[in-house]
Structure 1
Amino acid sequence: MPYRPKNSSYWHYDFQIRGRRFHGSCGTADFEEAKAVEAQARVAAKASSSVTGRFTLAEALGTYWTDVCQHQSSARTAKSQAAMILETMDGRKSMADLSNADLARFVATRRAHASNATVNRHLQMLGRALRYMGRVHKAQMPDIDLKAAETPEPVERIRELSQDEQKRLFEHLRPDLHAFVKFALMTGARLSTITELRWSDIDQSTRRMTFRLKGGTSMQFPISPEISALLSALPKSELPEHRRFVFTFEVQNRKGNPRRKIVPNGGGLMEDFRAALDAADIENFRFHDLRHTFATRLLRRTGNLKLVSRLLGHTSVDTTTRYAHVLDNDLADALDDFSVLQSAESRSKSRRRNKSA
């Protein structure tokens, strides 16, 4: 029943449907008209997605991005993934009506333009959005198997930069990118983590820095003397909007232009990185392989898989087992210099010599 608040000439409505509150002004001072407005509001409320739980795919992705993704360092990536999903799937379709056939068509369409890994990430983004809508907004969930729709990816190959390749790379790399690449080798951090690193994340007094990771999480990374020296020598941008970021670069062929922030995906700088690889005659190598190089070198030095896992920011040490071949190689090298039979023979000869003496 409409009511009139104190100091208001208009009637208002205020009711609940399935635990959700709907309230507002009827926009009229006539009680009979107000009852009609309230009745219309009740009909609209009963049909609303917040009550029925039937959200469209576009509403689901948009709500998830607004509530969660836009506050993360990976916001641009998430927005791009959502746009790509809606470019292929009908955003007007109710998420509850999604079928495995819809997923199959999406995968088949996207695989013509993107790698299996990229398509899988789009499916994972879709899954996070649907689960969020079901958990937080009580949306009706579709009967689909997102995991089954993913295409199995080949085991990731581990490519380590040799010392000779490393030397050649820096000989051909732009000087203002040396610190950027060295930092990747020193920390094993991902490209987006490095480009988003801010000076406020650096605490030289405690020798710790904060890394922003995939999925919106973060971790503390120790600052070694080598890393500390590199950070202390870095120039800062003169631009206020870029000065807070640790790694900036010089715009080529435009003298006098201030240093600018490196965008999360590396922007045009990855072209310079690949050009240096070509000039240095380094084949089958990507920027992400600097992370592999850090992991294999650290594991070879420490032999501690759990330690390497923590520094890489892995949530499970199982993810780090791909580097276990380093330890296997060390075991093989140890066996090359060891023989149980020879050791036993040597001990026997030693005892015989002691007896004869």
Structure 2
Amino acid sequence: MPFRPKNSRFWHYDFQIRGCRFHGSCSTADFEEAKAVEAKARVTARDSLDRKAVQPGVFTLSEALGTYYADIAEHQPSARTTLSQTKALLSILKPKMALADLTMAEVQRYVTTRRATCANGTVNRELQLLGRAMRHMARVHKATLPADVDLKSAQVAEAEERVRELTRDEQARLFNELRPDLHPLATMALATGLRLAELVEMQWPAVDLDTGRIKIVQKGQRTRFFPINSELRAFLSSLPRADTLPHARFVLTYINHKAKGQPRWRITQGGGIMEVFRAACVAAEIEDFRFHDLRHTFATRLLRQTGNLKLVSKLLGHTQIETTMRYAHVLDDDMRDALDSYSVTGQVPKKSPKSRASH
């Protein structure tokens, strides 16, 4: 396990394999991150030795998750999320437990414990990460897996994801309260429906104004292209750019008021940006609203305007149109409005006084 030397704010690792000592700094003050770094160091150390002398196929949970992060997730847009999920898994499951010793009882204990503090959907995403890590270890590193663990069966029922649409009045209030240098982030979300990770990872080489499309790398490392209309083209052309690398490569930047000279830096998923967004929602008196709801707003507005569910599904990057069906209530509203002007007797019924402020 990592340890913190006297007078050091960083955790360190120090272990032996086949009599060989491996030690160094984890370069982090976060204990859970340090465990992931140590796990990666252990795998690297084992690979550097003669594998014949090491029991083949035996990896701990910590090693499996650390290796998966290093091999696959570290350079993905969702790397920060994967690291957070890894911390959650290792905070309850036993990090030193061999993969082959994992049981359904341990998995169920994890599910029960996590459900007490977070949503069912979060628990399921973490179990899915564990499953991906185990499959990766078996396929690439020939790890021995437990024979009777079915992570899919351990997943719990999720409540249907709510769809919260920003009204035009709320939108005006939000932009009035939001820091001006973060307006482009919110505007881009409303204009494209892209996820936060896709927005903050977007770089200028992926934006082709000549062909009118943006290359998007989405969840699962799938690539798709988003079309650039005239409004989006004008918006992208007007964006301020950072002066220094690597920030200048990124499309969306903000003013770092804490740094000397207040330079423009790339926006990341961390760094307190979401706290600023939530504070703006509170100041604007917009209740029950999250940044991801800007994506929902894009989808509902576009579906209401076009009536084309398949088109909206493609623009959102959904692989299955069933995922887009959560927005079908918009079409139901339109059909209800159409029926308001239809009558079997020829007498047009009075329209319902109910109005949708989001139109």
TM-score normalised by structure 2 residue count? 0.78
List alignment gaps of at least 5 residues for structure 2: 1-48, 348-359
The within-5 A match list for 1:100-115 is 100-115=104-119
Counterpart of 2:195 (choices 165, 172, 190) is: 190
Deviation at 1:153, TM superposition (A): 1.7
Pair 1:253–1:47, CA change in 2 (3 A): closer
Deviation at 1:312, TM superposition (A): 0.6
Deviation at 1:299, TM superposition (A): 0.6
Deviation at 1:179, TM superposition (A): 1.5
- Deviation digits for residues 252-281 of structure 1 (CA, Å, limit 9, x no counterpart): 36673211111124x312222222212222
Q: Which residue of 1 aligns with 2:85?
A: 81
2-side partners of 1:280 and 1:75: how far apart?
32
Q: Which residue of 2 aligns with 1:282?
A: 286
Q: Which residue of 2 aligns with 1:11?
A: none
Deviation at 1:300, TM superposition (A): 0.7
1-side partners of 2:186 and 2:71: how far apart?
35
1-side partners of 2:64 and 2:260: how far apart?
47
Deviation at 1:109, TM superposition (A): 2.7
2-side partners of 1:147 and 1:279: how far apart?
42
- Deviation digits for residues 74-121 of structure 1 (CA, Å, limit 9, x no counterpart): 223223322332222122222122111101111233334433322221
The within-5 A match list for 1:226-237 is 226-237=231-242
The within-5 A match list for 1:328-347 is 328-342=332-346
SS at match of 1:211: strand
Counterpart of 2:310 (choices 306, 312, 326) is: 306
SS at match of 1:240: coil
Q: Which residue of 2 aligns with 1:45?
A: 52
2:247 matches 1:272: no
162-171 or 197-206: which moved more? 162-171
2-side partners of 1:157 and 1:76: how far apart?
24
1-side partners of 2:238 and 2:293: how far apart?
25
Contact (CA 8 Å) 1:74, 1:216: kept in 2 or not?
no
List alignment gaps of at least 5 residues for structure 1: 1-40, 344-357
2-side partners of 1:335 and 1:177: how far apart?
42
SS at match of 2:346: helix
2-side partners of 1:230 and 1:141: how far apart?
51
2-side partners of 1:98 and 1:244: how far apart?
44
2:134 matches 1:127: no
Amino acid at match of 1:164: D
Pair 1:66–1:272, CA change in 2 (3 A): closer
Q: Which residue of 1 aligns with 2:355?
A: none
1-side partners of 2:261 and 2:116: how far apart?
44
Contact (CA 8 Å) 1:74, 1:214: kept in 2 or not?
yes
Counterpart of 2:98 (choices 91, 94, 99) is: 94
Give the root-mean-square deviation of aligned CA atoms.
2.1
Q: Which residue of 2 aligns with 1:175?
A: 180
Contact (CA 8 Å) 1:74, 1:215: kept in 2 or not?
no
Deviation at 1:319, TM superposition (A): 0.4
2:209 matches 1:208: no
| Identity percentage of aligned residues | 54
Amino acid at match of 1:157: R
Pair 1:253–1:62, CA change in 2 (3 A): closer
2-side partners of 1:68 and 1:255: how far apart?
35
2-side partners of 1:211 and 1:293: how far apart?
20
2:70 matches 1:63: no
SS at match of 1:93: coil
SS at match of 1:54: coil
77-86 or 301-310: which moved more? 77-86
Q: Which residue of 1 aligns with 2:156?
A: 151
2:253 matches 1:252: no
- Deviation digits for residues 262-307 of structure 1 (CA, Å, limit 9, x no counterpart): 1124x31222222221222211111110000000011111111111
2-side partners of 1:93 and 1:72: how far apart?
27
Deviation at 1:135, TM superposition (A): 3.1
Amino acid at match of 1:251: N
Pair 1:66–1:253, CA change in 2 (3 A): closer
1-side partners of 2:331 and 2:186: how far apart?
26
Contact (CA 8 Å) 1:103, 1:149: kept in 2 or not?
yes
2-side partners of 1:45 and 1:56: how far apart?
18
2-side partners of 1:71 and 1:235: how far apart?
26
More helix by share: 1
Contact (CA 8 Å) 1:236, 1:243: kept in 2 or not?
yes
2-side partners of 1:82 and 1:279: how far apart?
34
1-side partners of 2:346 and 2:88: how far apart?
65
2:148 matches 1:161: no
Deviation at 1:47, TM superposition (A): 5.4
Deviation at 1:231, TM superposition (A): 0.8
Report which of the two structures shows the higher radius of gyration computed on alpha carbons: 1
